[in-house]
Structure 1
Amino acid sequence: MLDFLNDILWGKVLIALLITIGIGFTVASRFVQFRYFGRMFRILGASQAFKHDKHGHLSSFQALLLSVAGRVGGGNIAGVAVAITLGGPGAIFWMWVVGMMGMATSFLECTLAQTYKQAEPDGTYRGGPAHYISRGLGARWNWLAGLYSVLLLVTFGFCFTALQSYAVATSVGDAFGVPVLYSGIALAVIVGMIIFGGVKRIAKVTEVLVPVMAVGYLLVAFVVLGMNLERIPDVITLIVKSAFGLEPMVGGGIGAAILMGVKRGLFSNEAGLGSAPNVAAVAYVPHPANQGIVQAFSVFIDTLVICSATAFIILLSSVYEPGSGVSVEGVALTQSALADHVGDWGRSFVSIALLLFGFSTVLYNYYLGENSLNFFSTDNTRLLNGFRVLIIALVCWGATTDLSTVFGFADVTMGLLALVNLIALLFLFKPGLRIMRDFDRQIAEGIEQPVFDVSRFDDMNLDAAAWEIEPEDLARIRQREAAAVAQGK
């Protein structure tokens, strides 16, 4: 039954919706993910100045790192290896396509999450797909928002937490001989110490952890590329040919390449799932499009950079021979491939990378589960504490259990989660474009940092309190603009 549902969702429905929304918004927005790619760096730089500490809001940079912490996980190491094993090298090409389309999709969903965010009495924000479904589509769609929240809780809060724990524990056991139970207990203790501090403590941890783990992994990948410079064009040619069925003995042909590329690409970068908007919504920014641009870059980091690094490590090794099958798969394939390049220490390095990636993803999954519970009730301290205890238990249980059935179930719930969110994005396509065009208009008028005027959107059922910019922050924006104009003259 799980296989049947997965085939329907991933083989037909989601591919059609992802292509429709990804390409549709890319064209309608005039390739927004590429037009504003360079601006992303200016937004991140300005976010450090546009940071009000009165309520301890997350900045654009912190929200970016928290979303990268969730996107960059087992899918970047084990998932890419699975895609190559089952779909051949061509799956990487379709993963790239999903990534580039996903940048536009992520811009849309994260911009909407910012637009429809809700201010809390303590000055913080809540938001995400459940909120833009409820506010954007109206009260009669509250049932769909509730369904999304339940699917988010089950998929990320429960299933993916256990799966990440399993991936970390088995990898550490393979590399260092540590019993999975001990790894699970250690991981659970550390996770527990962090999640009881809430999203602010999670953000502080990821602000340090994510750059270290991502840069470290990429440095090793660059070493591998440097050792095999002359073979890189051949690997790229193999990827492209395999993607269009021109290498019939590789993987399962073009159908398998597309299916695995789309499935693993979405699993890795999560564009269209609606998970990242839960984080994007809580950032303190002057305009919703700011966070849309930043989160589009998050997809680029995940799929076009880190997933590609893993793919080249595997395809440049002698462990994987196109058309001959492989004796190892998943994370073991990535470990064997890196060991082939740099020696046995490569196995340990992959395990450490997976440990860091998996750990950061568990924290991210917890926050998504917490946000899904907050949709139903904001006065739920006992419920949240109970959920935190359950997460700790799931980390221990997941490390010691065969999760093949859980993985199949998670694929189904993730597919349903994506289906609900993509349907909502179709209905909210025009409001998303409207917000983007307000940003475009201000840029065209020479305003370096557009500011969102909620009064111009009275018909959209927005929470005006969520867009009250502190006077000192607004003054700081204007000072930066005046300085930029003076330098330009």
Structure 2
Amino acid sequence: MEALHHFFDTVGGWVWGPAMLVLLVGTGVLLTVLLKGLQFSMLGYALKQAFMPHHKKEDGSDHDGDISHFGALMTALSATIGTGNIAGVATAVVAGGPGAVFWMWITAIFGMATKYGEGVLAVKYRVVNKKGEMSGGPMYYIERGLGSKWKWLAYAFALFGTVASFGIGSSVQSNSVAQAVQASFEIDTVYTGVALTVLTAIVVLGGIRSIAKASSLIVPLMAVFYVAGGLVIIMANLDLVLPALKLILSDAFTGEAVAGGAIGSVIRYGVARGVFSNEAGMGSAPIAAAAAKTDHPVRQALVSMTGTFLDTIVVCSITGIVLVMGLLGAGGEFVKPEITGAALTTSTFDRLLPGPGGWVVTIGLIFFAYSTILGWCYYGEKCAAYVFGDGFANVYRVVYVATVMLGTVVSLDLVWLAADTFNGLMAVPNLIALLLLSGVIVKETKDFKAKRKSGELP
């Protein structure tokens, strides 16, 4: 066990090292240039597409797909908005300093272009499986976009995604919920495990339509609840907002608060936690995007792009700003805390808004983690079906539900390290495909704009 722990610790450090972070952000920068800053010029239109009823054909029938644009976005967000928005941001602020929040924003801005590119390819190269459902994602756009000689890379992605889902998707998340419930309500982890397993089974055994339906209810409610709670804290402590923002911006380019002037450390933690939170470039979200009912790949890609904006620019910003507000010293300097992760976020919210503040984080963490369990089940199922065949889907769901229970009652240090490693490995095949198929992304974008201009598309 020690040898395995050391192995995954070493490999994980390499996978999430500077080279990977440069590749992830660099891909977003390249796509931003090729698409002429599409995430800036079309964000308003994209948000409108995400929250309005999806377009139907002229005869009133649906376009090909399993779920609506909104359902696909909520499924992706259910997997994306998770413990990283609470614990991950705190880790970045403590290890990298308040300036890390700024670099999370930068990562998200370029990550929107990456998420857009993933969405275009996911819909363009999706297929209909034997059950009549849509299947798509990096494994399909690698095989169908790059050709059969690249199929080994598609298999690699799907295998990494299958393994990662049991850790980052189920057991690690259920463990977070069990620990939070035990700390706040003194309920034994076994009882939480049973309840969580049953609730998960009820939803995921029904497939993508059931997952999308649950996500479309849970995600908006939990996000609004958490953001509203954060805004109440900000409004109640307005005198701390400006000093906190000033510290975030100044530390982003000096690294003085924690890193002692090591600006690289600030950037690294901000980028790493940003990518880990919004998953732009990881290849997970396009699996959900491929299920959308849509008339053009670009329309769903624009909707997918809003996921990164909502996850990082909105939700993570609330956590980051409140944390920095709570860690300001008397002279406006940054006071490094002794705790980190979810515990720091909880104590900061509670201190700035005594009473309900801590509950906002606890309840948010429970629902964030539960929704991640639902979304990642769909990701893992599609990856497993690609490797082992569509008939394996039901077997996968049963095993996945079992790991939810397992995660609440066992120590997960090794599981977390392994899942973190495989989650990072997923990005490599996906980024290779994005770079090699960037011309297709640009071509589809031009086609969509031309058809809108001519009135062929709304």
Counterpart contact for 1:86–1:252, Cα < 8 Å: no
| Residue 69 to residue 138, structure 1, CA distance change in 2 (3 Å) | same
Amino acid at match of 2:344: L
2:34 to 28, 35, 53: 28
- Residue 245 of structure 1 deviates from its aligned partner by 2.1
Q: Are 2:13 and 1:11 aligned?
A: no
Q: Are 2:350 and 1:339 aligned?
A: yes
Q: Distance in 2 between matches of 1:45 and 1:243?
A: 34
Q: Distance in 1 between matches of 2:198 and 2:92?
A: 32
Amino acid at match of 2:42: Y
- Residue 157 of structure 1 deviates from its aligned partner by 3.5
Please list, as runs of the form range in 1=range in 2, the aligned pairs for 1:294-305 lying within 5 A after superposition. Answer: 294-305=303-314
1:88-139 CA distances to partner (integer Å, 9 max, x unpaired)? Answer: 1111111111111100000001110011011235543111100000000100
Q: Distance in 2 between matches of 1:93 and 1:318?
A: 16
Which SS does the other structure have where 1:316 is aligned? helix
1:37 match: 43
Q: Percent identity?
A: 36
- Residue 297 of structure 1 deviates from its aligned partner by 0.5
Q: Are 2:188 and 1:188 aligned?
A: no
Which SS does the other structure have where 2:326 is aligned? coil
- Residue 148 of structure 1 deviates from its aligned partner by 0.4
2:361 match: 350
Q: Distance in 1 between matches of 2:221 and 2:180?
A: 20
Q: Distance in 2 between matches of 1:233 and 1:361?
A: 33
- Residue 304 of structure 1 deviates from its aligned partner by 0.4
Q: Distance in 1 between matches of 2:432 and 2:54?
A: 35
Counterpart contact for 1:88–1:322, Cα < 8 Å: no
1:373 to 347, 368, 384: 384
| Residue 56 to residue 262, structure 1, CA distance change in 2 (3 Å) | closer
TM-score for the superposition, normalised by structure 2: 0.92
2:143 match: 134
Q: Distance in 1 between matches of 2:50 and 2:440?
A: 25
Q: Are 2:454 and 1:445 aligned?
A: yes
Which SS does the other structure have where 2:187 is aligned? coil
Q: Are 2:69 and 1:60 aligned?
A: yes
Counterpart contact for 1:87–1:252, Cα < 8 Å: no
Q: Structure 2: where are the runs of 5+ without partners?
A: 1-6
- Residue 446 of structure 1 deviates from its aligned partner by 4.8
| Residue 99 to residue 127, structure 1, CA distance change in 2 (3 Å) | same
Using the TM superposition, name which of 439-448 and 357-366 deviates more.
Answer: 439-448
Q: Distance in 1 between matches of 2:22 and 2:85?
A: 24
Which SS does the other structure have where 2:159 is aligned? helix
Amino acid at match of 2:287: N
2:123 match: 114
Using the TM superposition, name which of 255-264 and 280-289 deviates more.
Answer: 255-264
Q: Distance in 1 between matches of 2:357 and 2:260?
A: 25
1:362 match: 373
Q: Distance in 1 between matches of 2:78 and 2:269?
A: 23
Q: Distance in 2 between matches of 1:114 and 1:385?
A: 24
| Residue 245 to residue 409, structure 1, CA distance change in 2 (3 Å) | farther
- Residue 45 of structure 1 deviates from its aligned partner by 5.3
Q: Distance in 2 between matches of 1:360 and 1:146?
A: 27
* Matched residues, number: 447
Counterpart contact for 1:85–1:251, Cα < 8 Å: no
Amino acid at match of 2:89: V
- Residue 379 of structure 1 deviates from its aligned partner by 4.1
Which SS does the other structure have where 1:48 is aligned? coil
2:159 match: 150
- Residue 447 of structure 1 deviates from its aligned partner by 4.7
| Residue 122 to residue 163, structure 1, CA distance change in 2 (3 Å) | closer
Counterpart contact for 1:152–1:369, Cα < 8 Å: yes
1:74 match: 83
| Residue 286 to residue 154, structure 1, CA distance change in 2 (3 Å) | same
Q: Distance in 2 between matches of 1:435 and 1:49?
A: 18
Counterpart contact for 1:165–1:399, Cα < 8 Å: yes
Q: Structure 1: where are the runs of 5+ without partners?
A: 450-489
1:326 match: 337
Q: Distance in 2 between matches of 1:436 and 1:53?
A: 22
Amino acid at match of 1:140: K
2:54 to 42, 48, 71: 48
Q: Distance in 2 between matches of 1:135 and 1:352?
A: 42
Amino acid at match of 1:34: F
1:416 to 394, 416, 425: 425
1:461 match: none
1:212-238 CA distances to partner (integer Å, 9 max, x unpaired)? Answer: 111111111110111122322211111
- Residue 347 of structure 1 deviates from its aligned partner by 2.3
1:165-220 CA distances to partner (integer Å, 9 max, x unpaired)? Answer: 11111111111111222211211111011111111111111111111111111111
Q: Are 2:164 and 1:164 aligned?
A: no
Counterpart contact for 1:55–1:122, Cα < 8 Å: no
Please list, as runs of the form range in 1=range in 2, the aligned pairs for 1:373-392 lying within 5 A after superposition. Answer: 373-380=384-391, 383-392=392-401
Amino acid at match of 1:280: A
Counterpart contact for 2:92–2:270, Cα < 8 Å: yes
- Residue 445 of structure 1 deviates from its aligned partner by 3.2
Q: Distance in 2 between matches of 1:110 and 1:56?
A: 14
Q: Distance in 1 between matches of 2:272 and 2:47?
A: 29
1:222-276 CA distances to partner (integer Å, 9 max, x unpaired)? Answer: 1011112232221111112222225254588322222211211111100000000
Q: Distance in 2 between matches of 1:298 and 1:159?
A: 19
Q: Are 2:95 and 1:86 aligned?
A: yes
Amino acid at match of 2:382: N
1:146-176 CA distances to partner (integer Å, 9 max, x unpaired)? Answer: 1100000111244431111111111111111
Amino acid at match of 2:440: P
